[in-house]
Amino acid sequence: KQCETCWGYHFARNCHRQPVCQRCGKTGHIVDDCAAWEQCVNCLGPHEASLRNCPARPKRVRGILRRLTKEQREHIRMVGAETYRQRHLNPQPESLTEIQQSTTELPRDDIALDQQSNARTPSPAASGAPSCIMVATAPRTGYEAEEEPEHPRPGSPRKRRIVLINRSHDQE
C-alpha cells in the first residue's frame, strides 16, 4: 500500500518520514496549496505520486507483490527525471550558446578546407545540400568493406573524410 504521508510504497502506520506534497513531491506544504508542476516523488516523472500506472509502483506478479530492485529504481528515476525535464524545463542558455557556436564553426571549417584544397571541388556547405548525420550501425564485411559508394550524399561527414583522405594522397 502507498503511504499518504511520504507517498512511498510502505505501510503508513510505521512512517516517520517528513510529509511531502502528493502533487510536486516537495516538503513544507500540502497538495491543496500547491501550484507547482506535478512531479512524482517515486519515479521523478511528470505526474502525481498517487498515479496507479507509475513505473516505480510495485507490481503484482502471480498474486505476489514485487518491489523493484535498486538498479530498476535508479533507471526509472533517471528516465522519469529526463521526461520531467523535457516536458517542463526550457533548455539552458549555455546549451543554446554551445549549439549556436558549433553550428557557426562548421561552415568556417569547410571554408578552411576549401582554401587548403584545390578550388575545383566545391564545399558541401556551399552546394546548398542538406546536412545529415551518418551513424555506423554495423561493420562492413567482405567485399563491401573495400567498396565506397559511387555517389555519397553531399555534405555527409563520411564523404568529407573520404575526400580528405583522397586529397592527401593526390598531393604526395
Q: Are 83 and 134 in the same domain?
A: no
How remote is the C-alpha of 97 from its chain's centroid?
Answer: 18
33 touches 46 (CB < 8 A): no
pTM: 0.49
What pLDDT digit, counting tens, does each position of 129-144 carry?
Answer: 444 444 444 444 444 4
**47 is in which domain, residue-wise?**
12-88
Q: Are 23 and 38 in the same domain?
A: yes
pLDDT for 13 equals 87
| Chain mean pLDDT for the chain | 69
7 touches 41 (CB < 8 A): yes
Q: How many domains does the chain have?
A: 2
14 or 8, which is more confident:
8
Choose the final residue of a domain: 28, 61, 88. 88
The answer to whether residue 5 is domain-embedded is: no
What pLDDT digit, counting tens, does each position of 32-77 carry?
Answer: 888 899 999 999 999 999 999 999 999 989 999 899 999 999 999 9
What pLDDT digit, counting tens, does each position of 20-38 carry?
Answer: 999 999 998 888 888 899 9
* Amino acid letter for position 56: A
pLDDT for 30 equals 80
Choose the final residue of a domain: 47, 68, 88. 88
